[in-house]
Amino acid sequence: MTRIRALLGKELADLRQNPSIVVPAVIAGILSMLLPFFIAIIVPALAGERLSDSSDFQIALETYREQPALGDLDPEGAIQAWIFQQFLVLLILTPVAGSMSVAAYSVVGEKQAHTLEPLLATPLTTFELLAAKVLGALAPALALALACFLIYLAGVAIFAQPGVVRALVTPVSLAVMFVLGPLAALAALQLAVCVSSRVNDPRSAQQIGALVVLPVAAAFILQITGTFRLTLPVVAFVALALAGVNMGLMLLGVALFDRESILTRWK
Amino acid sequence: MLRVDHLTRRFGDRIAVDDVSFELAPGEIFALLGPNGAGKTTTLRMLAGLIEPSSGSVRVGAEALSRRNAPRLRRRIGLLTETPGLWERLSVRRNLLVYARLYGMADPDAAVDEALDVFNMRDRAGELAARLSKGLKQRVALARALLHRPDIVLLDEPTAGLDPASARELRELVLRLRSQRRTIVISTHNLDEAERVADRVAVMRARLVAVDSPAALRARVFGIRVRVVLGQPAASVVGVLTERGFSDIQADGHTLSIGVADHASAAPAIVRHLVNAGADVESVVAEEPPLEEVYVRLLDTTFARPS
C-alpha cells in the first residue's frame, strides 16, 4: 500500500505540473452538461414553445406520471426532469474521457521517457504499479465528475422549473453518479492501462481504451428511447457486473504486463 | 556478495549472454567491457532481477535471485540505467522522495536530505529535473540508485555523454562507494574509466572473453615488458642482454623492449648489465600498453575467423 501511495503521489504531482492533459475531459464535461440545457431550456425559449406541446416528449410524461413523488411537477417540469435525468448518464462519460489520455500514457509514457526501467528496478510489484497508474488517472477524473455533477445540479436549480432539481437527486441518479460512474471509469482506465502496457504508442492505448465509451453510449440511447429504465435493481446489477469486470481487468492487466518485453523490445 | 553461474539469455535465436560466470566480493569494482550488443546491459538487467536468465543463476549473498524473491532482493540492489530516467516535471527532491518511499525507507525525507548532501545537490533540490544539465541529471540518478543503501550497485554506462569534469566527479563517487564495501558492476565502453576504477575487468561479447585485473590482462596479452631508452642505437647492446639470458628483445632506434617474467626483479638487473657494458641508460619503465590495445587484441584473437 505504501508503494502504491508513493507512486500515486508522483502521478498526481506530475498531473499538477501538466494540467493541460485534462483539458479534453473538461471540454467533454462542459459539453455533456450544456447539451440538456440547450434541449430543455434554451431551444424552447428561443422558439417560444413549450416542451409539453411536443408529442415527442410523451414518453417522459408517461414515465413521470408513474412516479407519485413527482406528482407536483407540471408537464413542462416533468419533461425537463426527464431530460436532465437522461443526460446524467452522459456525465459518466466525462470521467472516462478525462482519464483516458492520462491512463493511455501511463505505462508507454514512462517507457518513452526512459523512466520505467529504474521504476521496475525497485521492489514495486506489477499489481502495485498498475494500481497506482489506474488510481492516478481515476482520482482527477472523479474530482472532475463530482464538479460537473454539482454544477449540473446548480444549473438545473437556477434555470429549470422549481422542483426539477429535486427529481434529479434520487437514489437512482446518485447511484449512477457515485457508483456506476466511478466503476465504469475504473474499467475504462484499467483497459487503457492494460493496453498501454502492451503497445508502443500512447495513441493506440487511447483509441482502444476509448471503446469502453460504447456501452455507456448504448445505455444512454436505450434509456432515452425508453427501451429500459435505470432502476435501483438495474443499477445494483450493473454495479456488480462492473465490479466483476474490474477485478477481471486487474488480473488480466497483471498477467499481460510483460516486464521483459517492455524492457527489451520497446524502443 | 554477488555470484553469477553460467548465466545465459536468449532472445529467440539470438544468444545475448552466453554462459557467463563470475563472483564478486564486497568492495570490489568490476567492469564489463564489450562492443555494442555484447550483452552488457542484458547482463546488468539479469543481475538487477529485471529480466530472467534463460539458464544459469544469479546469487545475491546466499540467495538465488528468482521471480518470487526479486522484489525483495531488489532492495539490496541499486541500478543506474543507461539514461538518467528522471521525471522531468518533478523536482529533484520529489524524484528522490518517490523512490525513498518505493524502497520503504523508514524516514524518506531524511534519506533524501542525506542523499542531497552526499551528492552536493541540496541547493538544487527544488529545481525541476528538466532544467538540470546532463551531468547533474546523472548525479541525481546515481543518488536515486544509492538512496536505499544497496549492497550491490549496477552502473550502466555511468559516464556516457558526460563532460570530463562530471565524469571525473562520478568516478570519485564510485571509488567512495568501494570504500563503503559496496560491490559495484560497471558496464562501460570507456576503457580508461575501467582502468581507473575497476579492480577487475571482464571483456565480453555475449560470452566472457577474459576476466582479470587490467594489469594481469595486459600481461596475459602482451607479456610483461620493460622499456629502456638508451643514448645510443639499441641494436648495439642487444647482444649484452641475450648473453645474460634475455631472449625476447625488440630494438627500435634508441629503445629496447624486453620481455621479462617479473618487472620488479628484472628491471634492476637489465640496467646493471647495460651500464656495465658501457651503455647510457636514459630511462627505464614498465611497458604498459593501453587497455584499449589489450581489449582489441583479446576480441580480435578470440573472434578472428580463419580466412
Q: Choose the closest CB to A14 out of B71, B90, B145.
A: B90
**Subunit contact B141:A118, Cβ cutoff 8 A:** yes
Cβ A141 vs Cβ A25: under 8 Å: yes
Q: What is the number of CB-based contacts under 8 A between chain A and chain B? A: 84
pLDDT in tens, A29-77: 888 888 899 888 888 888 888 877 777 777 667 766 666 556 677 878 8
Residues 43-82 (B) with a CB less than 8 A from some CB of A? 45, 48-52, 71-72, 74-75, 77, 79, 81
Amino acid at B105: M
The CA–CA distances, whole Å, from B140 to A90, B6, B44, B93, B150 equal: 46, 34, 20, 9, 16
Predicted confidence band of residue B136 (pLDDT cuts 50, 70, 90)? confident
**Does B80 or A180 have the greater pLDDT score?**
B80
Mutation target vs A (from B73, B87, B90, B102; most A CBs, 10 A cutoff)? B102
> Residue A125, by phi and psi: left (phi above 0), alpha (psi -120 to 50) or beta?
beta
Among residues A105, A7, A115, which one has the least CA distance to residue B84? A115
To the nearest whole Å, the CA of A15 is away from the closest chain B CA by 9
Which ipTM did the prediction report?
0.79
pLDDT in tens, B88-104: 999 999 999 999 999 98
pLDDT in tens, B40-53: 999 999 999 888 89
Question: Strands across the sheet with B2-11, in order?
Answer: B14-24, B2-11, B55-60, B63-64
* DSSP category for residue B65: -
Residues 123-142 (A) with a CB less than 8 A from some CB of B? 123-125
% of residues, chain B, pLDDT over 90:
23
In this prediction, residue A60 carries a pLDDT of 65
**Subunit contact A117:B86, Cβ cutoff 8 A:** no
Look at A47-61, A112-126, A209-223, B105-119 and tell me which has the smallest mean pLDDT: A209-223
- pLDDT of residue B112 exceeding 90, the answer is yes
**Subunit contact B103:A9, Cβ cutoff 8 A:** no
**Secondary structure percentages of chain B, helix, strand, coil, to 5:** 40, 30, 30
Predicted confidence band of residue B307 (pLDDT cuts 50, 70, 90)? very low
pLDDT in tens, B197-225: 889 989 888 888 888 888 887 777 777 88
- pLDDT of residue B129 exceeding 80, the answer is yes
The CA–CA distances, whole Å, from B138 to A11, A113, B83, B145, B246 equal: 22, 15, 8, 10, 51
Chain A residue whose CA is closest to B70: A123
Residue A20 CB coordination number (10 Å)? 7
**Subunit contact A116:B85, Cβ cutoff 8 A:** yes
Look at A91-105, B13-27, B143-157 and tell me which has the smallest mean pLDDT: A91-105
Query: H/E element holding B283?
Result: strand B281-287
**Does B64 or A97 have the greater pLDDT score?**
B64
In this prediction, residue A212 carries a pLDDT of 66
Residues from chain B that touch A5, judged by Cβ atoms under 8 A, are 101
